[in-house]
Amino acid sequence: MLLDGLARLGRSGLGTLERLGRAHLLLAGMVLGVGEVLRRPGLLVAQLFNIGVLSMLIIGVSGLFVGMVLGLQGYYVLAQFGAAESLGVMVASSLVRELGPVVTALLVAGRAGSALTAEIGLMKATEQLSGLEMMAVDPVRRILTPRFFGGVLAMPLLAAMFSAVGVLGGYFVGVGLLGVDSGSFWSQMQSKVDFQEDIVNGVIKSVVFGVVVTWIALFQGHDSVPTSEGVSRATTRSVVHAALAVLGLDFVLTALMFGE
Amino acid sequence: MAKQRGIEILVGLFMAVGFVAMFFLAMQVSNLSAAVNGEGYRLTARFSNVGSLKARSPVSMAGVRVGRVEDVSFDKDTYEAVVTMRIDTATDTIPDDTFANIFTAGLLGEQYIALEPGGSMDYLRDGDEIAHTQSALILEQMIGQFLFSKAGGD
Protein backbone atom coordinates (compact mmCIF):
# COMPACT_ATOMS: atom_id res chain seq x y z
CA MET A 1 0.00 0.00 0.00
CA LEU A 2 2.72 2.37 1.05
CA LEU A 3 4.95 1.06 -1.71
CA ASP A 4 2.20 1.71 -4.26
CA GLY A 5 2.04 5.36 -3.21
CA LEU A 6 5.81 5.66 -3.40
CA ALA A 7 5.85 4.06 -6.82
CA ARG A 8 3.24 6.50 -8.09
CA LEU A 9 5.22 9.44 -6.74
CA GLY A 10 8.36 8.10 -8.37
CA ARG A 11 6.58 7.52 -11.65
CA SER A 12 5.23 11.07 -11.77
CA GLY A 13 8.67 12.48 -10.85
CA LEU A 14 10.35 10.45 -13.58
CA GLY A 15 7.63 11.50 -16.05
CA THR A 16 8.21 15.18 -15.27
CA LEU A 17 11.96 14.80 -15.71
CA GLU A 18 11.40 13.00 -18.99
CA ARG A 19 9.13 15.76 -20.29
CA LEU A 20 11.67 18.37 -19.19
CA GLY A 21 14.39 16.48 -21.04
CA ARG A 22 12.28 16.22 -24.21
CA ALA A 23 11.50 19.94 -24.00
CA HIS A 24 15.20 20.82 -23.81
CA LEU A 25 16.11 18.46 -26.64
CA LEU A 26 13.42 20.16 -28.72
CA LEU A 27 14.81 23.61 -27.81
CA ALA A 28 18.34 22.51 -28.73
CA GLY A 29 17.07 21.10 -32.02
CA MET A 30 15.29 24.35 -32.88
CA VAL A 31 18.23 26.58 -31.95
CA LEU A 32 20.63 24.39 -33.96
CA GLY A 33 18.20 24.61 -36.89
CA VAL A 34 18.96 28.32 -37.35
CA GLY A 35 20.77 27.48 -40.61
CA GLU A 36 17.55 26.10 -42.09
CA VAL A 37 15.81 29.40 -41.36
CA LEU A 38 18.61 31.37 -43.02
CA ARG A 39 18.47 29.09 -46.07
CA ARG A 40 14.68 29.41 -46.43
CA PRO A 41 13.69 32.89 -45.23
CA GLY A 42 10.27 32.40 -46.84
CA LEU A 43 9.28 30.01 -44.04
CA LEU A 44 10.24 32.60 -41.43
CA VAL A 45 8.33 35.37 -43.22
CA ALA A 46 5.18 33.25 -43.22
CA GLN A 47 5.50 32.71 -39.45
CA LEU A 48 6.26 36.37 -38.78
CA PHE A 49 2.98 37.04 -40.55
CA ASN A 50 1.07 34.52 -38.42
CA ILE A 51 2.57 35.54 -35.09
CA GLY A 52 3.47 39.19 -35.63
CA VAL A 53 1.21 40.84 -38.18
CA LEU A 54 -1.96 39.11 -37.02
CA SER A 55 -1.24 40.09 -33.38
CA MET A 56 -0.71 43.76 -34.19
CA LEU A 57 -4.35 44.78 -33.80
CA ILE A 58 -4.86 43.26 -30.34
CA ILE A 59 -1.45 44.56 -29.19
CA GLY A 60 -2.19 48.07 -30.42
CA VAL A 61 -5.68 48.26 -28.90
CA SER A 62 -4.59 46.78 -25.55
CA GLY A 63 -1.55 49.06 -25.43
CA LEU A 64 -3.69 52.12 -26.04
CA PHE A 65 -6.17 51.24 -23.31
CA VAL A 66 -3.53 50.18 -20.78
CA GLY A 67 -1.73 53.48 -21.36
CA MET A 68 -4.97 55.45 -21.01
CA VAL A 69 -5.87 53.69 -17.75
CA LEU A 70 -2.36 54.29 -16.42
CA GLY A 71 -2.70 57.97 -17.31
CA LEU A 72 -6.07 58.24 -15.59
CA GLN A 73 -5.20 56.34 -12.41
CA GLY A 74 -1.70 57.79 -12.17
CA TYR A 75 -3.08 61.29 -12.43
CA TYR A 76 -5.46 60.85 -9.48
CA VAL A 77 -2.68 59.51 -7.24
CA LEU A 78 0.02 61.95 -8.35
CA ALA A 79 -2.29 64.98 -8.18
CA GLN A 80 -2.74 64.33 -4.45
CA PHE A 81 0.98 64.96 -3.98
CA GLY A 82 1.04 67.89 -6.38
CA ALA A 83 3.24 65.90 -8.74
CA ALA A 84 0.93 65.54 -11.75
CA GLU A 85 3.85 66.62 -13.99
CA SER A 86 5.53 63.29 -13.21
CA LEU A 87 2.70 61.47 -14.97
CA GLY A 88 4.85 60.93 -18.06
CA VAL A 89 7.60 59.27 -16.01
CA MET A 90 5.11 56.98 -14.31
CA VAL A 91 3.35 55.94 -17.50
CA ALA A 92 6.54 55.46 -19.52
CA SER A 93 8.63 53.62 -16.96
CA SER A 94 5.86 51.24 -15.89
CA LEU A 95 5.10 50.47 -19.54
CA VAL A 96 8.68 50.08 -20.74
CA ARG A 97 9.94 48.13 -17.75
CA GLU A 98 7.03 45.88 -16.84
CA LEU A 99 3.67 46.14 -18.54
CA GLY A 100 4.91 46.28 -22.12
CA PRO A 101 6.90 43.03 -22.13
CA VAL A 102 4.62 41.14 -19.71
CA VAL A 103 1.21 42.00 -21.13
CA THR A 104 2.49 41.52 -24.68
CA ALA A 105 3.82 38.07 -23.73
CA LEU A 106 0.49 37.13 -22.13
CA LEU A 107 -1.47 38.34 -25.15
CA VAL A 108 0.84 36.56 -27.60
CA ALA A 109 0.58 33.37 -25.54
CA GLY A 110 -3.20 33.57 -25.81
CA ARG A 111 -3.44 34.80 -29.37
CA ALA A 112 -0.53 33.07 -31.15
CA GLY A 113 0.81 30.47 -28.70
CA SER A 114 -2.47 28.59 -28.49
CA ALA A 115 -2.74 28.60 -32.30
CA LEU A 116 0.80 27.20 -32.61
CA THR A 117 0.05 24.40 -30.15
CA ALA A 118 -3.20 23.46 -31.88
CA GLU A 119 -1.54 23.55 -35.30
CA ILE A 120 1.40 21.33 -34.31
CA GLY A 121 -0.87 19.03 -32.26
CA LEU A 122 -3.22 18.55 -35.23
CA MET A 123 -0.28 17.95 -37.54
CA LYS A 124 0.81 15.25 -35.16
CA ALA A 125 -2.70 13.80 -34.79
CA THR A 126 -3.18 13.61 -38.57
CA GLU A 127 0.32 12.11 -38.88
CA GLN A 128 1.68 14.89 -41.06
CA LEU A 129 4.80 15.08 -38.91
CA SER A 130 5.37 11.32 -39.29
CA GLY A 131 4.76 11.73 -43.02
CA LEU A 132 7.52 14.34 -43.25
CA GLU A 133 9.83 12.01 -41.37
CA MET A 134 9.03 9.24 -43.85
CA MET A 135 10.19 11.59 -46.61
CA ALA A 136 13.44 12.14 -44.70
CA VAL A 137 12.51 15.75 -43.85
CA ASP A 138 13.20 16.63 -40.22
CA PRO A 139 9.89 18.08 -38.93
CA VAL A 140 11.69 19.93 -36.11
CA ARG A 141 13.84 21.83 -38.60
CA ARG A 142 11.18 22.28 -41.27
CA ILE A 143 8.05 22.98 -39.20
CA LEU A 144 9.03 23.95 -35.66
CA THR A 145 12.21 26.01 -36.15
CA PRO A 146 10.69 28.76 -38.36
CA ARG A 147 7.80 29.11 -35.90
CA PHE A 148 10.21 29.35 -32.99
CA PHE A 149 12.33 32.09 -34.56
CA GLY A 150 9.22 33.86 -35.82
CA GLY A 151 7.97 34.10 -32.23
CA VAL A 152 11.36 35.16 -30.84
CA LEU A 153 11.69 37.94 -33.43
CA ALA A 154 8.09 39.13 -33.26
CA MET A 155 7.88 39.46 -29.47
CA PRO A 156 10.28 42.41 -28.90
CA LEU A 157 8.78 44.28 -31.86
CA LEU A 158 5.26 43.75 -30.53
CA ALA A 159 6.35 44.79 -27.02
CA ALA A 160 7.90 47.99 -28.40
CA MET A 161 4.65 48.76 -30.24
CA PHE A 162 2.67 48.11 -27.07
CA SER A 163 4.83 50.49 -25.02
CA ALA A 164 4.90 53.19 -27.69
CA VAL A 165 1.12 53.12 -28.21
CA GLY A 166 0.66 53.01 -24.44
CA VAL A 167 2.79 56.13 -23.91
CA LEU A 168 0.70 57.91 -26.56
CA GLY A 169 -2.50 56.73 -24.82
CA GLY A 170 -1.21 58.08 -21.51
CA TYR A 171 -0.37 61.34 -23.29
CA PHE A 172 -3.88 61.68 -24.74
CA VAL A 173 -5.52 61.16 -21.37
CA GLY A 174 -2.99 63.08 -19.26
CA VAL A 175 -2.39 66.06 -21.53
CA GLY A 176 -5.56 66.01 -23.63
CA LEU A 177 -8.21 65.31 -21.03
CA LEU A 178 -6.72 66.10 -17.63
CA GLY A 179 -4.65 69.13 -18.55
CA VAL A 180 -1.12 68.08 -17.54
CA ASP A 181 1.44 70.36 -19.17
CA SER A 182 2.63 68.78 -22.41
CA GLY A 183 6.21 70.05 -22.12
CA SER A 184 6.82 68.74 -18.62
CA PHE A 185 5.10 65.44 -19.49
CA TRP A 186 7.78 64.75 -22.12
CA SER A 187 10.77 66.44 -20.50
CA GLN A 188 10.32 64.73 -17.12
CA MET A 189 9.89 61.46 -18.95
CA GLN A 190 13.07 61.98 -20.94
CA SER A 191 15.11 62.98 -17.93
CA LYS A 192 14.01 60.04 -15.78
CA VAL A 193 13.71 57.14 -18.25
CA ASP A 194 17.18 55.82 -18.99
CA PHE A 195 18.00 54.21 -22.34
CA GLN A 196 20.30 51.48 -21.01
CA GLU A 197 18.54 50.87 -17.73
CA ASP A 198 14.92 50.91 -18.90
CA ILE A 199 14.56 50.50 -22.67
CA VAL A 200 17.33 47.96 -23.28
CA ASN A 201 16.33 45.90 -20.25
CA GLY A 202 12.71 45.93 -21.44
CA VAL A 203 13.79 44.63 -24.85
CA ILE A 204 15.92 41.89 -23.21
CA LYS A 205 12.89 40.89 -21.15
CA SER A 206 10.63 40.62 -24.18
CA VAL A 207 13.21 38.52 -26.07
CA VAL A 208 13.34 36.11 -23.10
CA PHE A 209 9.53 35.99 -23.00
CA GLY A 210 9.46 35.38 -26.76
CA VAL A 211 11.73 32.35 -26.35
CA VAL A 212 9.72 30.98 -23.41
CA VAL A 213 6.24 31.48 -24.87
CA THR A 214 6.97 30.00 -28.30
CA TRP A 215 9.06 27.19 -26.81
CA ILE A 216 6.25 26.16 -24.45
CA ALA A 217 3.62 26.42 -27.20
CA LEU A 218 5.63 24.34 -29.68
CA PHE A 219 6.64 21.75 -27.09
CA GLN A 220 3.07 21.28 -25.88
CA GLY A 221 1.93 20.76 -29.47
CA HIS A 222 4.80 18.44 -30.31
CA ASP A 223 4.33 16.43 -27.10
CA SER A 224 0.51 16.26 -27.17
CA VAL A 225 -1.46 13.02 -27.16
CA PRO A 226 -2.51 12.71 -30.82
CA THR A 227 -6.28 12.74 -30.26
CA SER A 228 -8.77 15.61 -30.36
CA GLU A 229 -8.95 15.56 -26.56
CA GLY A 230 -5.17 15.49 -26.29
CA VAL A 231 -4.79 18.49 -28.60
CA SER A 232 -7.40 20.49 -26.69
CA ARG A 233 -5.65 19.72 -23.38
CA ALA A 234 -2.28 20.63 -24.85
CA THR A 235 -3.69 23.98 -26.02
CA THR A 236 -5.00 24.77 -22.54
CA ARG A 237 -1.71 23.71 -20.93
CA SER A 238 0.24 25.81 -23.41
CA VAL A 239 -1.54 29.02 -22.43
CA VAL A 240 -1.52 28.29 -18.68
CA HIS A 241 2.12 27.24 -18.54
CA ALA A 242 3.25 30.13 -20.73
CA ALA A 243 1.40 32.67 -18.56
CA LEU A 244 2.83 31.23 -15.33
CA ALA A 245 6.34 31.06 -16.78
CA VAL A 246 6.16 34.66 -18.00
CA LEU A 247 4.95 36.00 -14.65
CA GLY A 248 7.52 33.98 -12.68
CA LEU A 249 10.40 34.87 -14.99
CA ASP A 250 9.37 38.52 -14.91
CA PHE A 251 9.93 38.59 -11.17
CA VAL A 252 13.35 36.96 -11.51
CA LEU A 253 14.40 39.27 -14.36
CA THR A 254 13.18 42.38 -12.53
CA ALA A 255 15.09 41.35 -9.41
CA LEU A 256 18.25 40.80 -11.49
CA MET A 257 17.96 43.95 -13.62
CA PHE A 258 16.60 46.61 -11.31
CA GLY A 259 17.38 45.14 -7.88
CA GLU A 260 21.00 46.40 -7.73
CA MET B 1 2.57 34.33 -56.00
CA ALA B 2 0.56 37.48 -55.46
CA LYS B 3 -0.53 36.20 -52.05
CA GLN B 4 3.06 35.50 -51.02
CA ARG B 5 4.00 39.03 -52.07
CA GLY B 6 1.12 40.47 -50.02
CA ILE B 7 2.32 38.56 -46.95
CA GLU B 8 5.87 39.79 -47.49
CA ILE B 9 4.67 43.38 -47.72
CA LEU B 10 2.62 43.04 -44.53
CA VAL B 11 5.56 41.45 -42.67
CA GLY B 12 7.79 44.27 -43.89
CA LEU B 13 5.24 46.76 -42.60
CA PHE B 14 5.10 44.92 -39.27
CA MET B 15 8.87 45.05 -38.84
CA ALA B 16 9.00 48.70 -39.91
CA VAL B 17 6.32 49.66 -37.37
CA GLY B 18 8.17 47.65 -34.69
CA PHE B 19 11.44 49.43 -35.39
CA VAL B 20 9.70 52.82 -35.49
CA ALA B 21 8.20 52.01 -32.07
CA MET B 22 11.63 51.11 -30.69
CA PHE B 23 13.11 54.28 -32.19
CA PHE B 24 10.28 56.31 -30.65
CA LEU B 25 10.95 54.75 -27.23
CA ALA B 26 14.67 55.40 -27.55
CA MET B 27 14.52 58.99 -28.77
CA GLN B 28 11.29 60.42 -27.41
CA VAL B 29 10.74 58.52 -24.17
CA SER B 30 14.26 57.91 -22.86
CA ASN B 31 17.20 60.23 -22.31
CA LEU B 32 19.14 58.97 -25.33
CA SER B 33 18.45 62.13 -27.35
CA ALA B 34 19.87 64.27 -24.55
CA ALA B 35 22.92 62.05 -24.09
CA VAL B 36 23.80 62.00 -27.80
CA ASN B 37 23.88 65.79 -27.88
CA GLY B 38 27.61 66.04 -27.13
CA GLU B 39 28.12 69.57 -28.37
CA GLY B 40 29.19 72.44 -26.18
CA TYR B 41 32.21 73.32 -24.10
CA ARG B 42 33.42 72.13 -20.72
CA LEU B 43 33.76 74.08 -17.48
CA THR B 44 34.88 72.74 -14.13
CA ALA B 45 34.10 73.89 -10.60
CA ARG B 46 35.24 72.72 -7.16
CA PHE B 47 32.79 72.31 -4.30
CA SER B 48 33.44 71.25 -0.72
CA ASN B 49 30.18 69.29 -0.83
CA VAL B 50 28.00 68.48 -3.85
CA GLY B 51 25.13 66.86 -1.96
CA SER B 52 23.29 64.50 -4.28
CA LEU B 53 24.38 66.16 -7.54
CA LYS B 54 24.89 63.54 -10.26
CA ALA B 55 25.96 63.29 -13.88
CA ARG B 56 23.20 64.64 -16.17
CA SER B 57 21.86 67.03 -13.52
CA PRO B 58 20.89 70.34 -15.15
CA VAL B 59 23.03 73.49 -15.15
CA SER B 60 20.90 76.60 -15.36
CA MET B 61 21.25 80.37 -15.62
CA ALA B 62 18.34 82.55 -14.56
CA GLY B 63 16.28 79.36 -14.33
CA VAL B 64 16.91 78.33 -17.94
CA ARG B 65 18.86 75.14 -18.61
CA VAL B 66 22.12 75.99 -20.40
CA GLY B 67 23.96 72.68 -19.95
CA ARG B 68 24.33 69.50 -17.99
CA VAL B 69 26.69 68.04 -15.42
CA GLU B 70 28.97 65.60 -17.21
CA ASP B 71 30.96 64.13 -14.36
CA VAL B 72 31.37 64.43 -10.60
CA SER B 73 34.70 63.24 -9.23
CA PHE B 74 36.68 63.51 -6.00
CA ASP B 75 40.06 65.25 -5.75
CA LYS B 76 42.04 63.24 -3.20
CA ASP B 77 44.61 66.00 -2.63
CA THR B 78 42.29 68.87 -1.75
CA TYR B 79 39.36 66.71 -0.53
CA GLU B 80 37.01 68.61 -2.81
CA ALA B 81 34.46 67.44 -5.36
CA VAL B 82 35.31 68.39 -8.95
CA VAL B 83 32.23 68.90 -11.15
CA THR B 84 32.65 68.92 -14.93
CA MET B 85 29.84 70.67 -16.79
CA ARG B 86 29.06 70.76 -20.49
CA ILE B 87 27.60 74.12 -21.47
CA ASP B 88 25.68 74.58 -24.73
CA THR B 89 27.70 76.32 -27.45
CA ALA B 90 25.03 79.01 -27.79
CA THR B 91 25.75 80.20 -24.24
CA ASP B 92 29.33 81.40 -24.81
CA THR B 93 29.21 84.64 -22.82
CA ILE B 94 29.57 83.44 -19.23
CA PRO B 95 31.73 86.00 -17.32
CA ASP B 96 34.85 84.65 -15.58
CA ASP B 97 33.67 85.92 -12.17
CA THR B 98 30.47 83.84 -12.36
CA PHE B 99 29.22 82.30 -9.14
CA ALA B 100 28.21 78.59 -9.17
CA ASN B 101 25.66 77.47 -6.57
CA ILE B 102 24.16 74.05 -5.95
CA PHE B 103 20.44 74.48 -5.35
CA THR B 104 17.59 72.05 -4.79
CA ALA B 105 14.48 72.11 -6.97
CA GLY B 106 11.74 72.28 -4.38
CA LEU B 107 12.18 71.13 -0.81
CA LEU B 108 13.03 67.51 -1.60
CA GLY B 109 13.60 67.69 -5.38
CA GLU B 110 16.72 66.95 -7.36
CA GLN B 111 19.79 69.18 -7.12
CA TYR B 112 21.10 71.36 -9.93
CA ILE B 113 23.82 73.95 -10.53
CA ALA B 114 22.71 77.57 -10.87
CA LEU B 115 25.19 79.97 -12.45
CA GLU B 116 24.95 83.63 -11.40
CA PRO B 117 26.83 85.84 -13.85
CA GLY B 118 29.25 88.44 -12.48
CA GLY B 119 30.15 91.76 -14.05
CA SER B 120 33.44 90.89 -15.77
CA MET B 121 33.88 91.48 -19.50
CA ASP B 122 36.13 88.41 -19.89
CA TYR B 123 34.28 85.23 -20.75
CA LEU B 124 34.98 81.65 -19.66
CA ARG B 125 36.35 79.34 -22.34
CA ASP B 126 36.55 75.57 -22.82
CA GLY B 127 38.40 73.94 -19.90
CA ASP B 128 38.24 76.98 -17.58
CA GLU B 129 37.38 76.65 -13.92
CA ILE B 130 34.69 78.60 -12.10
CA ALA B 131 36.46 80.07 -9.06
CA HIS B 132 33.50 81.16 -6.94
CA THR B 133 31.34 78.31 -5.74
CA GLN B 134 28.88 77.62 -2.98
CA SER B 135 28.25 74.08 -1.82
CA ALA B 136 24.99 72.25 -1.54
CA LEU B 137 22.89 72.91 1.53
CA ILE B 138 22.62 69.72 3.52
CA LEU B 139 19.32 69.65 5.36
CA GLU B 140 20.70 67.71 8.34
CA GLN B 141 23.56 70.21 8.77
CA MET B 142 21.16 73.15 8.66
CA ILE B 143 18.90 71.59 11.27
CA GLY B 144 21.96 70.81 13.39
CA GLN B 145 23.23 74.40 13.16
CA PHE B 146 19.79 75.76 13.91
CA LEU B 147 19.44 73.61 17.03
CA PHE B 148 22.98 74.51 18.10
CA SER B 149 22.37 78.26 17.76
CA LYS B 150 19.08 77.89 19.61
CA ALA B 151 20.83 76.11 22.46
CA GLY B 152 23.63 78.68 22.50
CA GLY B 153 21.20 81.62 22.54
CA ASP B 154 19.42 80.59 25.72
* pLDDT at res. B125: 86
Whether B15 and A194 lie within 8 Å, measured CB to CB: no
Same-domain check for residues B71 and B122:
yes
Whether A53 and B11 lie within 8 Å, measured CB to CB: yes
* pLDDT at res. A64: 95
Q: Which of A108-112, A239-243, B92-96 has the lowest average pLDDT? A: B92-96
**B34 vs A contacts (CB less than 8 Å):** 190-191
* pLDDT at res. A247: 94
Q: Residue A62: pLDDT above 90?
A: yes
Domain-embedded: residue B47: yes
* pLDDT at res. A122: 92
Which A positions 92-121 lie with beta carbon below 8 A of chain B?
Answer: 92, 96
Whether A190 and B19 lie within 8 Å, measured CB to CB: no
Alpha-carbon distance of A205 to A60, in angstroms, equals 19
Indicate the average pLDDT of chain A.
90
What is the b/e burial string over A202-226, where b = at least 16 CB atoms within 10 angstroms of the residue's CB? bbebbbbbbbbbbbbbbbbbbbbeb
* pLDDT at res. B134: 84
Whether A164 and B31 lie within 8 Å, measured CB to CB: no
Same-domain check for residues B19 and B47:
no
Q: Which is more confident, B107 or A62? A: A62
**B4 vs A contacts (CB less than 8 Å):** 42
Domain-embedded: residue B151: no
Same-domain check for residues B29 and B44:
no
The per-residue pLDDT for range A154-211, each reduced to its tens digit, is 999 999 999 999 999 999 998 888 888 887 788 788 877 888 788 889 999 999 999 9
* pLDDT at res. B91: 83
* pLDDT at res. A68: 94
When CB atoms are compared, the residue of A157, A160, A195 closest to B30 is A195
Domain-embedded: residue B153: no
Across A249-259, average pLDDT: 87
Same-domain check for residues B25 and B51:
no
Across A236-256, average pLDDT: 93
* pLDDT at res. A251: 92
Q: What is the percent of chain A where pLDDT is above 90?
A: 55
- Sequence-distant (6+) residues with CB within 8 A of A5 are none
Same-domain check for residues B48 and B9:
no
Residue among B71, B65, B75, B74 at smallest CA distance from B112: B65
Same-domain check for residues B64 and B135:
yes
When CB atoms are compared, the residue of B22, B34, B56 closest to A160 is B22
Same-domain check for residues B24 and B78:
no
Q: Contact A233/A188 with Cβ under 8 angstroms?
A: no
The per-residue pLDDT for range A113-164, each reduced to its tens digit, is 999 999 999 999 998 988 998 998 888 888 899 999 999 999 999 999 999 9
Complex-level ipTM: 0.76
pTM beyond 0.80, yes or no: no
* pLDDT at res. B55: 76
Please tell me if residue A46 touches chain B, with a CB cutoff of 8 Å: yes
Each residue's pLDDT expressed in tens, for chain B with a length of 154 residues: 677 788 888 888 888 888 898 888 888 777 766 554 567 888 999 988 888 787 778 888 888 888 888 888 998 999 989 999 888 888 888 888 888 988 887 666 678 889 998 888 888 888 888 888 888 877 788 888 888 888 876 5
Listed in sequence order, the DSSP H helices in B25-120 are 32-36
- What one-letter code names the amino acid at A234? A
Q: What is the domain range of residue A25?
A: 2-258
Q: What is the domain range of residue B20?
A: 2-33
Alpha-carbon distance of A182 to B44, in angstroms, equals 34
Number of domains composing chain A: 1
Across A97-120, average pLDDT: 93
Same-domain check for residues B74 and B134:
yes
Q: Residue A259: pLDDT above 90?
A: no
Domain-embedded: residue B152: no
End-to-end CA distance of chain B: 95
Same-domain check for residues B28 and B102:
no
Q: Residue A107: pLDDT above 90?
A: yes
Q: What is the percent of chain A where pLDDT is above 70?
A: 99
* pLDDT at res. A73: 92
Same-domain check for residues B74 and B89:
yes
Q: Would you place residue A234 in the very low, low, confident or very high pLDDT band (cuts 50, 70, 90)?
A: very high
* pLDDT at res. B40: 83
Q: Would you place residue A260 in the very low, low, confident or very high pLDDT band (cuts 50, 70, 90)?
A: low
Whether B28 and A195 lie within 8 Å, measured CB to CB: no
Number of domains composing chain B: 2
- 3-class DSSP string for chain A: CHHHHHHHHHHHHHHHHHHHHHHHHHHHHHHHCHHHHHHCHHHHHHHHHHHCHHHHHHHHHHHHHHHHHHHHHHHHHHHHCCCHHHHHHHHHHHHHHHHHHHHHHHHHHHHHHHHHHHHHHHHHHCCHHHHHHHCCCCHHHHHHHHHHHHHHHHHHHHHHHHHHHHHHHHHHHHHHHCCCCHHHHHHHHHHHCCHHHHHHHHHHHHHHHHHHHHHHHHHHHHCCCCCHHHHHHHHHHHHHHHHHHHHHHHHHHHHHHHCC
